[in-house]
Structure 1
């Protein structure tokens, strides 16, 4: 057992699903424990700094907090095994990592918390079993559930926006399902970094909770199969009779995948623009010290979507991930940059290359901090 990693998370956690899938798909031996285990508080939290998940305990006793950091820990050592070589595919992979981790939170929270008749017993089981066995276990479970339901509302999910959130999600689900008619993964025959990021909301919330899970099974069976596939160690693509290996050749990005990005851009781009404005205003007013922790949620931002106003908290973490997309682009030669620009313009995502905060964010000693 000396070479076994320990992943601390919970089964129904959006962010844990991303890291878990990476470990499974990359053949990394691990066991999974919940945050309710005493070892999380005693061994993990002192190094992790924050009681958030996922957190990975290495065989050498080091702790890595956050899914992006966990994946980077292995990718830095394996030659970027899950990053395509072509410039267009690299950008698309990194962009889907941002979208999945931070851009689909509204539908994920809406479909979990606003259909309690179908979901509540299932959700409560998992929240309860993530708590330590103490006399206050029931009370802590209810408090955590109420807190998460509140988070759904501050991300812009309410009675006025719920129909819009559902319409956008179903359009996206339909487009993604059409893409998986051709390929088992986003960029061909094996998962890229973007697959892991996108799985985060599509597994724990939208593919596993009873109400949205039923929608996915009935209306987007191919997406549901991808969710299953991303939690299995092999390629798991028997329905693709011409299945191959590797990423698509010649830096191909299928039109079916660009169609998915086009649907997502309708929501993702205006929110990112509004969030950048709000956070930059906060930075100007507060001037955090270099090395100060970057909070996960800051001031409100507002944007218009299909003629309807949406108000949501701004999230610096989105821009920490978006920096990776922009850094890849900025390191390319002029020809590759032009190719990427053309591709993104065709799906309404061209603005994401220029939407930036006035201060960068980096991960240091298990915290996201201002540079």
Structure 2
């Protein structure tokens, strides 16, 4: 039996970028297999029941789908040199960056990919899935058809002409601004060693926002320290140091964390409420749909509507479990930090109907 893992994904896949960076930094031997249409038909769908990448095959032949599940599983299998902090503040902040990067930074990642001048680059990338060995003009023609289906998902995320200016202002003048300032003085989010939050940031920031031509120019121009951080995250030659001592959270992260609670958290609270209502109205339905209607959201003071995604509740449960699992002394430390971030009340959110993942499907626990 090989001791290597196999990562099925694509270079332009957001979450593949997250999983790849984790495996590289964890020093896990792995082969990467491009997820062509044949790979989807013969491996991914038969082994997982879904059509999502990345998928990680373990040396024992188990197929893991969803990057949070992949990282959790590898951390248990290879517990030495953990990338999930054990101290209360750094652990919670790492989980906050996990849900924020995975779910909220998806907005600029999708906007810049599909609404900026990234063509024919993107058409070629998607064309490789169906016809990896065909001439470029054929790949481009097929890739455009596939890409248009993905582009149709953009408005579902609340990306519309009315919200686009606010999305760009938030991403360029807030997200990139503060991350660039942070990475000027810190190698990673929490010091000289990457954490769960770093890997989650790699998804949108690398696979979409740096690799795609249009957004790549933006990042290189206004956030060179973010580019250097991405290069570190993708390198197997970097020796890691330690996280900051005394469970310290850098001041440079505070504005980002404060905006998570002021702007993203209301969407999460609404999601929990809507999922509860949906469950009451559909008590006998086993598998929860990917979306269950629409709700309001606000970004940069501009209001819009976006799909309600029950998966967000599953991710939120990880954050709340981290907070609620803390002992009394740790919770008092966390509460002091959360008051400064405007998030203490947010953390008191009670989820009545928990969501679980069973056979890669969302169900009520």
TM-score under structure 1 length normalisation: 0.90
SS at structure 1 position matched to 2:185: coil
Q: Does 1:249 align with 2:245?
A: yes
Change (3 A) 1:295 1:262: same
**Residue 310, structure 1, aligned to residue 301, structure 2:** no
Is the CA contact (8 Å cut-off) linking 1:304 and 1:310 kept in structure 2? yes
- 1:254/1:307 Cα in 2 relative to 1: closer, same or farther (>3 Å)? closer
Greater mean alpha carbon deviation, residues 331-340 or residues 177-186: 331-340
Matched, 1:179 2:175: no
> How far did 1:357 drift?
4.3
Moved more, 6-15 or 297-306: 297-306
Secondary structure of 1:247's match? coil
1:347 maps to 341
Give the structure 1 partner of residue 48 of structure 2: 48
RMSD of aligned Cα (Å): 2.2
What is the number of residues matched between the two proteins? 360
Aligned positions of 1:1-371 closer than 5 A: 2-36=2-36, 38-79=38-79, 81-115=82-116, 118-132=117-131, 141-170=143-172, 171-235=174-238, 245-289=241-285, 292-371=286-365
Partners of 1:293 and 1:182 in 2: CA distance = 46
SS at match of 2:101: helix
- Secondary structure of 2:119's counterpart equals helix
Task: Describe the SS at the equivalent of 2:7.
Answer: strand
Structure 1, unmatched stretches of 5+, are 237-243
1:120 aligned counterpart, secondary structure: coil
For residues 354 and 147 of structure 1, the distance between their equivalents in structure 2, rounded to whole angstroms, comes to 39
What secondary structure sits across from 2:341 in the alignment? coil
CA–CA separation in structure 2 for the residues paired with 1:167 and 1:353:
28
1:269, 1:351 within 8 Å by CA — same for their partners in 2? no
Relative to structure 1, the CA distance from residue 82 to residue 259 in structure 2 (aligned partners, 3 Å threshold; closer, same or farther) is same
Give 1:261 shift: 1.3
For the residue of structure 1 that corresponds to 2:199, the secondary structure is helix
8 A contact 1:278–1:300 mirrored in 2: no
Q: Is the 8 A contact 1:177 1:223 kept in 2?
A: yes
Distance 1:134 1:85 in 2: 47
Given that 2:261 and 2:346 are in contact with CA atoms closer than 8 Å, whether structure 1 keeps it comes out as: no
Please say which of residues 50-59 and 140-149 is displaced more in the overlay. 140-149
CA distance in 1, matches of 2:289, 2:269: 19
